[in-house]
Structure 1
Amino acid sequence: MTKTILLILLILMFDTTFGQQNSVKNTFDYVVRNAFGDLNNDGLEDKAIIAMDTIDNSRPFKLEIFLSNPNGEYHSFFSSTTIIEAMYPPEKNGAYNGSQIPDVNIEDDKLQLDFYIKGNSRYEFQIRKEQFRLIHFTFVHYDSKNITEIAFDLLKNQYSKQVEILETSKITEKIDKEVRIRPLPTLKGFKPFINEYY
């Protein structure tokens, strides 16, 4: 009898502990951004959300993309908790990361992620062969003296960069060149600004 009670208590304790661990890992319960539109050209409305984990002190984010089924229900197509840096990342000892929460949009079958890190940047992804591929990148940065603009069309291999003095409109740097990146970067494992060109 004592062994049976002990066994039941151990099972209940394991179940409770395991359940708490799972709930902590899946507490992205606050939707910060969302977007709706057709991502895969099937005529159905898909959606993308950025959600925050309000339990974890670092306030991590999850980007999740859902595609529509013909019956009107959504299924998860892509999910990542590493693309967007946590608001108070552990590697910065819980200090604020200094950047705003990115915006997410769906336009003309493209997923657009707008980051505000040392300037304004837009990454455009498109579904091909069951994965999101980066096809376009733009970046604009103002400081007290200059404006820097970058545009990179990864499909056409066209990269341009221009730096202009704000006060005089004098261009101090201008680059137009062909840059070919193959295979195209994908959303899986993506992080902004880890590449020389994007």
Structure 2
Amino acid sequence: MKNSYLYFTFILILFQMNVSAQKVKNKDSYNYQIREEHGDLNNDGKMDKIIVEMDTINETRPLRLQIFLSQPNGKLALVVSSTQIIEPQYPIENHGKFNGYQISNFFIEKGILTMWTEIKGGNISYDFKYNKGNFELINVNKLINNATKGYIDENTVFTETKFNLITGLKIETDEVYGSKKPLDKRKKTVFIKPLPKIQDVKFSDKNLY
């Protein structure tokens, strides 16, 4: 009788542990990997990794960026996780409609992490550089056009914005499609201190630049 009781207690404990583990597992519904890139982000000569995952349970289909840095023991450690830098595929404000943009692309080159994203009428890219434990935004490049008919013609004006957050120099250039000369060029200095960290950047920040 005593042995049966101990056996029942042991089974009950195992069941509770399994249920608890299942709850923890289900808590993370970012279960579909979209992107994966490798490169040296912290200049230690070892490969680091970034991944982009989608939450397939949430009807808005949000996306999560995670950055893993190489450690002295040869393993990768999660250092950044953000669910606000990439726009969900079906934003709440769209009332169930697709946002129309492909999922952001990420590239690693010469220690710089670049995020390229489609936006209304064009695209925007952000450059992040690792500095003292953080990935800081150092450059923003944006290209948009004013086409309203769904196609580009000789009257379409492109506006290119190049913003160096380190120097503060922001250059905006307007150019008519097909023209070899700029229509207008504007320069100004805008200082943002401290530099934005990647985990604080939101997909809506595209309107700030």
Q: What TM-score bracket applies, with the shorter chain setting the length?
A: 0.7 to 0.9
SS of the residue 2:78 aligns to: strand
Equivalent of 1:43, from 42, 45, 51? 45
Between the aligned partners of 1:128 and 1:194, the Cα distance in structure 2 is 21
Give the structure with the larger helix fraction.
2
**Who is 1:64 aligned against?**
66
Partner of 2:3: none
Residues 87 and 203 in structure 2, CA contact (< 8 A), matched pair in contact too: no
From 154, 158, 171, the counterpart of 1:147? 158
Deviations 1:29-66 (A, max 9, x none): 22111111111111110011111122222211100000
5 Å-filtered alignment, 1:45-194, equals 45-118=47-120, 119-142=122-145, 143=147, 144=152, 145-169=156-180, 171-194=182-205
SS at match of 1:91: helix
CA contact (8 A) 1:100 1:117 kept: no
Contact 1:44/1:70 (8 A) holds in 2: no
Query: Does the Cα contact within 8 Å between 1:121 and 1:137 map onto a contact in 2?
Result: yes
Tell me the SS of whatever aligns to 1:101: coil
CA distance in structure 1 between the aligned counterparts of 2:93 and 2:144, rounded to whole angstroms: 26
**More displaced stretch, 106-115 vs 141-150:** 141-150
> How much does 1:171 deviate?
3.1
1:75-131 deviations in whole A, cap 9, x for unaligned? 101001111121112332222122220001111111111010121111001111211
**Structure 1 contact 49–63 (Cα < 8 Å) conserved:** yes
Q: Which runs of 5+ in 2 are unaligned?
A: 1-10
Point out where structure 1 has 5 or more consecutive residues left out of the alignment.
1-7
Structure 2 CA distance for aligned equivalents of residues 91 and 20 of structure 1: 32
C-alpha contact 1:39 1:110 (8 A) present in aligned 2? yes
Contact kept? 2:84, 2:203, Cα under 8 Å: no
Q: Take 2:84 and 2:27, find their aligned partners in 1: how far apart are those partners?
A: 14
Structure 1 contact 136–154 (Cα < 8 Å) conserved: yes
Give the whole-Å Cα distance in 1 for the aligned partners of 2:205 and 2:83. Answer: 17
Rg larger in structure = 2
Between the aligned residues of both structures, percent identity stands at 38
Paired amino acid for 1:94: G
Q: Bigger shift: 150-159 or 186-195? A: 186-195
Please tell me the residue identity of whatever aligns with 1:183: P
- Greater displacement, 155-164 / 24-33: 24-33
How big is the alpha-carbon RMSD for the aligned residues of Structure 1 and Structure 2?
2.5
Instruction: Give the residue type in structure 2 aligned to 1:180.
Output: F
Residues 124 and 134 in structure 1, CA contact (< 8 A), matched pair in contact too = yes
